[in-house]
Amino acid sequence: MTVKLFTPPTLPARGYSQVCEVTGGRLILFAGQVPHDVNDKLVGAGDFDAQVEQVFQNLGRALQAVGGSFKNLVKINNYCVETVSYEIRANYRVIRDRYIDTANPPVSTFIYVPRLAQPTWLFEMDAMAVIDG
């Protein structure tokens, strides 16, 4: 398996890779991870940082369940409610960078939405990973 994450010199670098090229391996798709704990209880009501942290913890458990880790991430899609200010959203990258390989970050999209499936959710993320074999 070969995964090449990169930003061509013809595109702006933004703290994430612009392109992901995969040759071989298993493609694993992860549904939207939400800020609930293992008992399905909301974590961080009204607290963006706590919800982002919980979402990354949940994604980590999902990655482990298929024999992977955050190093296997190739794509993340982030959804944030529009009531979260740009200044607060900046904390996302601080939290994200504790989990991902910042030297070789996955391709990423960050989208503001009017609301998520549950009105108490401030953040949700879906993802893709590639794992050997």
State the Cα–Cα distance between residues 90 and 85, nearest whole angstrom.
9
pLDDT digits over 23-79, tens only? 989 999 999 999 999 999 999 999 999 999 999 999 999 999 999 999 999 999 999
Domain total in the chain: 1
Q: What does the alpha-carbon distance between residue 75 and residue 119 come to, in Å, rounded to a whole number?
A: 26
The three-class DSSP label of residue 121 is coil
Reported as a single tens digit per residue, the pLDDT across 75-128 is 999 999 999 999 999 999 999 999 999 999 999 999 999 999 999 999 999 999
* The two structure tokens encoding residue 50: 């706590």
Q: Looking at residue 85, which CATH number applies to its domain?
A: 3.30.1330.40
What's the whole-model pTM score? 0.92
Residue-number span of the structural domain to which 9 is assigned: 2-131
